[in-house]
Structure 1
């Protein structure tokens, strides 16, 4: 993979190896002195740990020569104990310092990820699927964080031990180092095989996790639809299929791990056998001593553990690197520079010129659509289900980019849909999301204007009441009032209400219509009308059918024309008459 980010299909980008290394190096700025300290301390502590094999070899030679006594044994014992203590302390300090640097850098990356994820263009998230983003901010972050206990000791202590031990082996008797070097290509080949297979397997596993998260999320979000249409069995099958996909890729990853173990065992056998043979030849030729051969074998045995640990941890490292590349792929998505678009004329807040849009490879929802929304006017968009109203709102809001044509809209545009979300936090936090500098007086004024002031009397701690998940529950009507009050505090130039009062039912329809009226007062508004009573109060009405604008005008003009809108209004009036008959209840 090249250094440039690579995208898979419509998924969010995944950083290449060069880009990942470059970003990690950038994040290490300010911690490089500590990293250098880790390196020096690691080399010193592993050097101390080489003393026991050498001192044991010395003892073996003294015993063989018959010159060893109690003092020799006590001296050797004291040196081994001292070196073990110093080595253990040095190793512990090395791991602690490395862990602190690791988690500091990870924390900075996590903050960068969250910050960028919160500002990603909505059309990019919609195209990739929110499950992909959620998987990266949860599963992938967890995978990188959980890799620390295994990866840090291997990359620090084991890495230093291998380098220092090879140097010590060469200093002891160079033929031993040469013999071990002959076996090193086996480990190199194992690593090359693993690095060729591992990243692909773990990347596929992470992608499968994203797909599973997307299916679970869609089932949860569409819970009412799933129950209403009897789709529980179908959704269960879909989620299970995605879960089995994850299981299959996980089994492949574990198979790769098992094959790695077999190759490492072969390397161990070859290493020990080679050094033993060389030791026998050197002793037989009086080129080495039994003590020297013993020290060489102990150093090799000491080497095998760190080498195997380092190679084993590559399994965790590859999984973590796959997740790290996915995290950095999102964290480093460049800020989009707005493409040149048509600039609306003075007095025109929104201008769509020959706009075309379709979802993926499907048919276009609309084509060559042209629409002007004058500044300060309130425009209603009506039409049958599937006419393209919600898509039009999303294109104007910037959630979807047009396939062709140009869209010009105010810089401060806010969209509220019928899927109102209440964030876990206080009522004050929820209301000031778009207006962090709003005072309590501003909040009370917004609640009064939207008819939600009475909500404070129902909450135990007023504005400080925790709401959302785990907090005080809100009804659908209260959640929509909160969303409209939030819009009022944000004070956008253009407010788009996509059936934003549709979920409350007829009981609260009048209340929410008045709240919407207050939220739109004094600003340009686009209303995707669920009830024609909302459309009737707007300055102008746009009627859509199959992605085309077929009628436009004021309420009175369209009713008098007797066209599609006139027919819809007559049916609406007749329906209201039936609902208002004595004895009828909703």
Structure 2
């Protein structure tokens, strides 16, 4: 089990080599003409860079022959200077264009990552741990971005230099190229060793980073619990342990890098020795000149730098590829085709969803908005939270779900909404379903932006109408900026009641076929209860609605009430029918009424 798995149960998938390559090819569409231009400019600029070694070899032969003069030296110097300028300019152009393509592709990948992450099924994220997803969208994306300064020059310049220089060496005297080729197995063996060792080490390093991120995130989210139970020291030790785990994996990666460097140095020494020996033999037999041998040595020296750079950057490239595979692993998680899936998956990472959406052309679906058959659900290996739920909600009906704490009400709402996937059974729901929970979030930004998140085409008139309908028009008076008032973090603070009104207005603008209110007004306190109840009724008007009732006064106004206990439906009927039956609902109602009476007399 990996480090991440040990902490979180099951990490998000990591893309294989083929999937990663396919996604990169897909993202590079539209940039291939620029990539071709990079190739052409790179080859031309590196070919120009071959001129100085040839010119120096020519000068050496002229000096040995006694035919060199000041004009020869000046000409060689001018040619070398011009080739240096042209080569540098070409290299700069190639790197700039390659960098633009790299970051354009990376930007598109970031957008896909964020888009896909927002749509991931909740059970996948919870099994992997939120830290895994955060690590991929931060640490891994940063690793891919930070690799650009090292990887781009290596791939756009070094590769071209190696190809062109080898061609020039072979054109000069084939034995020189043969001598260099004899040493190539040393480099090949070094890379074979590294490619078998490096990726595994870097994957372990990234997994350790995910585990650390998960522990830090849990400590931050559970800050109040940590303080309340005196767990600060224990949490500190846990984070410290995972941080040391990252340090150990990073040291392993640096050790592998040092061992690769030693192998590259050996290859460099053998390459120079081989070409020197061949040059001595060729000159001794009159098959080459001293100038030719000088040119060959300069070309080999010119080759060694790019070869080492290219092989050395494989370390950075492997780290970046490990991160890239983790990012693409999220991007390529298959989307759920809920309309076609009706079976129950056995693999927890399988994306088949045993739910489907209402088909308005199917006569069986026209009168029923929600249908559940034998639905069962449990969290991980825990006891069943839902057990054999059968439920039909007619189109346009308002259904209240009540029951004691732990009865499974919120879980049932999440399964109906598609937030959670049932372990068994099937769920039918409308295509446009929206949920409001008691954990209402106000996003940092303008009031208008908060309200139009699910209805981007809504006009200011639509927004104002939604605020009026939900009794939240006073939000426009928060400041003189009205809809442009900045709310959320760093902006105008909202009370719990205002935040819930905003959420209700947001849902009204979204205009779903099915609206699910999971204790959506529970956090505002009794002072605003009546106002929020009226807002909820206004939002539900004209559409199918499910209310997880925190206050039984909400349930009493619904068309039908379902009473749950221990994950099962134990009663169903109207408010009056259930009171007459004298069962669980009647007892809950009596307790509720007594509590209201006590509160009123305080």
Structure 2 length as normaliser, TM-score? 0.90
Q: Does 1:539 align with 2:559?
A: yes
Give the secondary structure class of the aligned counterpart of 2:427.
strand
Q: CA deviation at 1:232?
A: 4.0
Q: What are the within-5 Å matches in structure 2 for residues 32-47 of structure 1? A: 32-47=32-47
Matching residue of 1:27: 27
Matching residue of 2:254: 254
Give the secondary structure class of the aligned counterpart of 1:503.
helix
Q: Does 1:193 align with 2:193?
A: yes
Given the alignment, which residue of 395, 398, 405 partners 2:415? 395
Structure 1 unaligned spans of 5+: 1-7
2:300 and 2:255 mapped to 1: Cα distance? 28
Matching residue of 1:502: 522
1:168 and 1:335 mapped to 2: Cα distance? 52
Q: Does 1:414 align with 2:442?
A: no
1:392 and 1:351 mapped to 2: Cα distance? 12
Matching residue of 2:89: 89
Matching residue of 2:501: 481
The answer to whether the 8 A contact 2:48-2:83 is kept is yes
2:457 and 2:373 mapped to 1: Cα distance? 37
Give the secondary structure class of the aligned counterpart of 2:522.
coil
Q: CA deviation at 1:298?
A: 1.4
Matching residue of 2:474: 454
Matching residue of 2:330: 330
Q: Does 1:357 align with 2:349?
A: no
TM-superposition CA deviations, 1:144-176 (whole Å, max 9, x none) = 222111111100110001111111111122111
Deviates more, 1:243-252 or 1:396-405: 243-252
Q: CA deviation at 1:264?
A: 1.2
Q: CA deviation at 1:481?
A: 1.0
Deviates more, 1:198-207 or 1:174-183: 198-207
The answer to whether the 8 A contact 2:478-2:485 is kept is no
Q: CA, structure 1 residues 119+353, in 2 after alignment: closer, same or farther (shift >3 Å)?
A: same
Q: CA, structure 1 residues 112+11, in 2 after alignment: closer, same or farther (shift >3 Å)?
A: same
Structure 2 unaligned spans of 5+: 1-7, 343-354, 359-363
TM-superposition CA deviations, 1:340-359 (whole Å, max 9, x none) = 46766543221111111122
Give the secondary structure class of the aligned counterpart of 2:453.
coil
1:437 and 1:181 mapped to 2: Cα distance? 65
Deviates more, 1:248-257 or 1:120-129: 120-129
Matching residue of 1:4: none
The answer to whether the 8 A contact 1:123-1:398 is kept is no
Deviates more, 1:311-320 or 1:388-397: 311-320
Matching residue of 2:297: 297
2:480 and 2:262 mapped to 1: Cα distance? 64
The answer to whether the 8 A contact 2:410-2:548 is kept is yes
The answer to whether the 8 A contact 2:466-2:509 is kept is yes
Give the secondary structure class of the aligned counterpart of 2:473.
coil
Give the secondary structure class of the aligned counterpart of 1:371.
strand
Deviates more, 1:91-100 or 1:148-157: 91-100
Deviates more, 1:94-103 or 1:230-239: 230-239
Q: CA deviation at 1:279?
A: 2.0
Give the secondary structure class of the aligned counterpart of 2:524.
coil
1:572 and 1:351 mapped to 2: Cα distance? 30
1:444 and 1:216 mapped to 2: Cα distance? 41
Matching residue of 2:266: 266
1:556 and 1:407 mapped to 2: Cα distance? 29
Give the secondary structure class of the aligned counterpart of 1:182.
helix
2:234 and 2:497 mapped to 1: Cα distance? 31
Q: What are the within-5 Å matches in structure 2 for residues 9-408 of structure 1? A: 10-338=10-338, 339-340=341-342, 345-408=365-428
Q: CA deviation at 1:262?
A: 1.5
1:451 and 1:227 mapped to 2: Cα distance? 38
1:236 and 1:371 mapped to 2: Cα distance? 47
Give the secondary structure class of the aligned counterpart of 2:546.
strand
Q: CA deviation at 1:245?
A: 3.1
1:270 and 1:122 mapped to 2: Cα distance? 57
Structure 1 length as normaliser, TM-score? 0.92
Matching residue of 1:524: 544
Q: CA, structure 1 residues 464+317, in 2 after alignment: closer, same or farther (shift >3 Å)?
A: same
Q: CA, structure 1 residues 501+242, in 2 after alignment: closer, same or farther (shift >3 Å)?
A: farther
1:516 and 1:479 mapped to 2: Cα distance? 13
Q: CA deviation at 1:182?
A: 0.9
Given the alignment, which residue of 559, 570, 583 partners 1:550? 570
The answer to whether the 8 A contact 2:9-2:127 is kept is no
TM-superposition CA deviations, 1:41-78 (whole Å, max 9, x none) = 11111111111112112222222233322222212211
The answer to whether the 8 A contact 2:470-2:501 is kept is yes
Given the alignment, which residue of 559, 562, 571 partners 2:579? 559
Matching residue of 1:3: none
Q: CA deviation at 1:122?
A: 4.3
